[in-house]
Amino acid sequence: MARIVLKGIPVSAGISVGRALFVNRSRFSQIPREAIPDDLKDFEKTRLELAFERVREELATARGKVPKELQEHVAIIDTHLMISQDPKLLRSAQKIVVEMGITAEWALEKAEDQIAQAFAAIEDPYIRERIQDVRLVSRRIMDKLLGQPHALVDAAMRAEMSARFVMMAHDLTPADTIGLDISKIMSLATVQGGKTSHTGILARSLQIPALVGVEGLEEEVCDGDLVILDGLKGSIYVDPNEDELAYYSDLKYQFENYQSSITRECSLPAETIDGYRVNVYANIEIFEEVAAVLDVGGEGVGLYRTEYAFMDRATIPDEAAMTTEYSELAALLAPRRVTYRTLDLGADKLSRQFGKLDEPNPALGLRAVRFTLKHPELFRQQVRAICRASQHGNVAIMFPLISGVNEIDQCKEVVRDVQRELAAAGIPHDPEMPIGIMVELPCAAFIADVLAQEVDFFSIGTNDLIQYSLGIDRINKHVSYLYQPLHPAIVRSIKYVVDSGHQAGIEVSVCGELASDPYCVPILLGMQVDNISITPHAIPGIKRVIRQTTMQDCKNLLREVLKARTVAETNQLVRDSVFKRFPEELMFYSSLLD
C-alpha cells in the first residue's frame, strides 16, 4: 500500500506517475501578526501601496510574455490586473491598518478574508470560486510585502526543474506558468481551487491531469516523493507500492489510447447506432473558448453566459462593445448555432456598477430576467447587441429564470420593439431570430405546455431545476447528499418539459452537469431531447457514448426508471444498465451519481 492516499477534486482527466515538486506553499506561518505604534501606520499604508504597484507591473510584464499557444489565458491575466487595480482591496487593508494598528501583512490577510466572506454567500458556484482570483492576486502582493520574489521565478527552483515532474502548489495562476517550461510538467495538484477554478481550465487546455482542493497536500508530500496522480478518480498515492505502480501504468496506457481514440472521432456526429441524431453544443463564458469548441467537435454554442463579460470590470460594456463581441463570435462559428443567454445577474453575482442589493436569500431574489426587466435600458442595450449580431451568423436569444407567460411577453416585446427600431434605421439583423427560454424553475416545468406555445425553443437548466425542485442548497455541505439528479421528481419533470416542447413543435435542449454525465445521458436520449450543451472538454467522450448506444435501449431504460419509486432504485437501474453497455468507457469517468 502507498504511504498515504490523498483525495481531491479531479478537474482534468488522466494519470501520471512521477516525482513531486512544490512551486509554492502556504505563507500562513510567515505572516507577521503584530501590533504597531501609531507613528508607523502611514509607513505600513505606504508599504501596501508599493506592493500593489509592484504586482501590477509584474502582471503587465507577464502579460507581454504570453506565448502564442497560451494566448487564450491573456484574459485571465487581464482579470488579475483589474483586481490589482481595483482600490477596494487596498483601501480595505489600509483602513484595517489605521483602525486596528497592525502590520500591513496582517491587514491584507484580514481584508482578503472580508472579501472571501462576501463571495461565500454567492449561490452561483462559478462566481463563488472567483474568490480564487482575489486570493491569487493577494498572494502575490503578500509576497512583495514579505520581501520574497515570487516563488516560481526563483532561480534555484528553476534549476530543480531539469526533469519532468508532478507540479504541486498551494495555488497556481496562469501568470505563474509563463516562466515555466510546460513540457516538464506531467500533472499538477493544488490545495486551493474548485471545479471551475482557472487551474482546471489551464490544465484542461494543456491536456495534463490535475486535481484541486487536495487536503493534506502540503503536510503529507515532500519534494522528490514518488506519487501517482489519478485525475480520473481524484486521488494521489504517495510512495506507492509495486502493485499500485503496475496498475496505474496500465491504466495510464489505456486512458491515453482512449483519449486518442475519442479525439480522432470528435468531428463525427453524435448519432446512435439506430440513427437518432443529437446535436452536442458547448457551454462557454468567454470569447476565448471558441477555439476549444471547434477543436473538440462542438456543433455550436448552446449557452453563452453573457454576464461574465460584466464581472470584474470597472465599467459596464456598452452596446457597441457587446455588438462587437457577439458579432465576432457568431461569425467565427457560422453556420453553427450560437445561443446568447441574456444577463443572469443578481444580488448573488452582481456587477459592482449596480451597487449592493440587500437580499437575505439572493438565489430567490432579484436576479436573471427579473433583474434585467427592472433595468430596461441595460436590457434593451443587450438585446440590440444580440439582434445586430444576428446578421453575422446563426444566432438565437434566450431568457433565464422564466417563471410564467407574463415575463415571456415582456421580453418578446423588447425584442420586437428593438427589431422594429433597427429596421426603421436600416440596420441589418435577422428578423426571424429564434427566441427561447431556460426552464429551470419548477413552476416553469409545471406549465411547460403553456410556455411552449410562446417561444421557439426550451433549454432545460438542470442545475437550478434540481436545486429548486428538491429544496437543496447545493453549496451547503450538510444537505448536499440530497442533490440527486435522477430523483424520480426530476426525471418526471424533465420528461414533461421535453414532451410539452415536442407536442408544440419546438426544440428542447438540456444544459447543466447532468448532460455531461455518461450515466445520465442515456436517460435524456430516451426522452428524445434534440440537443445537449456541455463544457467543451466533455464533448468528445459524450459523443462517443451516444454513438455506441441505441435509442431502443435508451427508451427501455427510461421506461424502467419512470417506474422507480426511490433515488436508490433509479441509480441502481442506471448503473447496472449503463455500466453493462460501457464497462471500458466508464472507468475513465466520475459521475454525479457517485
Single-letter code of the amino acid located at 564: A
Rg over CA atoms, the chain: 25
The answer, yes or no, to whether the previous bond of 335 is cis (omega within 30 of 0) is: yes
- Alpha carbon of 122 to those of 194, 347, 476: distances in Å? 14, 8, 12
What letter does residue 328 receive in the DSSP assignment? Answer: H
Q: Where are the beta strands (DSSP E) in 67-140?
A: none
* Cα torsion 185, 186, 189, 193: sign: positive
Alpha carbon 383 to its chain's center: 24
Q: Are strands 457-461 and 435-439 parallel, antiparallel or unpaired?
A: parallel
pLDDT of residue 224: 86
pLDDT of residue 153: 43
Q: Report d(CA 8, CA 215) in Å as an integer.
A: 7
- Alpha carbon of 131 to those of 18, 107, 194: distances in Å? 31, 18, 10
- Alpha carbon of 279 to those of 106, 509, 533: distances in Å? 53, 9, 8
What letter does residue 367 receive in the DSSP assignment? Answer: B
- Alpha carbon of 545 to those of 21, 265, 388, 558: distances in Å? 37, 12, 38, 16
Q: Is residue 8 helix, strand or coil?
A: coil
Choosing from 266, 387, 411, 511, which is the catalytic residue? 511
- Alpha carbon of 212 to those of 223, 252, 427, 498: distances in Å? 18, 20, 48, 36
| CB distance 369 to 400 below 8 Å | yes
Q: Report d(CA 128, CA 131) in Å as an integer.
A: 6
CB-based burial label for 535 (10 Å; 0-12, 13-18, 19+) = buried
Q: DSSP string covering 25-79, please?
A: ---GGGS---B--GGGHHHHHHHHHHHHHHHHHHHHHHHHT--GGGGGGHHHHHH
* Cα torsion 492, 493, 497, 498: sign: negative
Single-letter code of the amino acid located at 138: S
Q: Is residue 14 helix, strand or coil?
A: coil
Q: Is residue 301 helix, strand or coil?
A: strand
Torsion of CA 561, 566, 569, 570, to 10 degrees: 40
Residue ranges of domains in the chain, CATH in brackets: 4-25+151-258 (3.50.30.10), 38-146 (1.10.274.10), 280-517 (3.20.20.60)
Q: Are strands 4-7 and 235-238 parallel, antiparallel or unpaired?
A: antiparallel
Q: Is residue 7 helix, strand or coil?
A: strand
Q: Are strands 531-534 and 300-305 parallel, antiparallel or unpaired?
A: unpaired
What letter does residue 149 receive in the DSSP assignment? Answer: P
| CB distance 530 to 300 below 8 Å | no
pLDDT truncated to tens, each residue of the chain (594 aa)? Answer: 888 999 988 878 889 999 998 877 666 556 777 788 888 888 889 999 989 988 888 888 877 777 666 666 677 788 888 888 888 889 999 999 998 888 898 899 888 888 888 877 777 766 776 777 888 888 888 878 876 554 444 444 555 556 788 999 887 765 565 556 778 889 999 987 766 566 776 777 677 899 988 988 988 888 889 999 999 888 999 999 999 999 999 999 999 898 889 989 999 999 999 999 999 999 988 787 888 899 899 999 999 999 877 765 557 789 999 999 999 999 999 999 999 999 987 755 555 556 555 666 777 788 899 999 999 999 999 999 999 999 999 999 999 999 999 999 999 999 999 999 999 999 999 999 999 999 999 999 999 999 999 999 999 999 889 989 999 876 555 676 788 889 999 999 999 999 999 999 999 999 988 898 899 999 999 999 999 999 888 899 999 999 999 999 999 999 999 999 999 999 999 988 887 877 777 778 777 776
Q: How far is it between the farthest Cα atoms of the chain? A: 80
Please confirm, yes or no, whether 198 is among the known catalytic residues. yes
Please confirm, yes or no, whether 554 is among the known catalytic residues. no
| CB distance 315 to 352 below 8 Å | no
Strands of the 165-169 sheet, one edge to the other = 4-7, 235-238, 226-230, 15-24, 165-169, 185-190, 210-212, 9-12
Q: Which residues of 38-59 are buried (b: 16+ CB within 10 A; e: fewer)?
A: eeebeebbebbeebbebbbebb
* Cα torsion 503, 506, 507, 508: sign: negative
Quick one: cell of 74? 491573456
φ and ψ at 492, to 5 degrees? -65, -40
Q: Report d(CA 353, CA 355) in Å as an integer.
A: 6
Quick one: cell of 525? 436520449
Q: Report d(CA 94, CA 104) in Å as an integer.
A: 8
147 Ramachandran zone, left/alpha/beta (phi>0; psi -120 to 50):
left
Among 91, 92, 93, 97, which residue's Cα sits nearest to residue 41? Answer: 97
User: Which ranges of 161-197 would DSSP assign to H, the alpha helix?
Assistant: 174-177
| CB distance 274 to 255 below 8 Å | no
What letter does residue 506 receive in the DSSP assignment? Answer: -
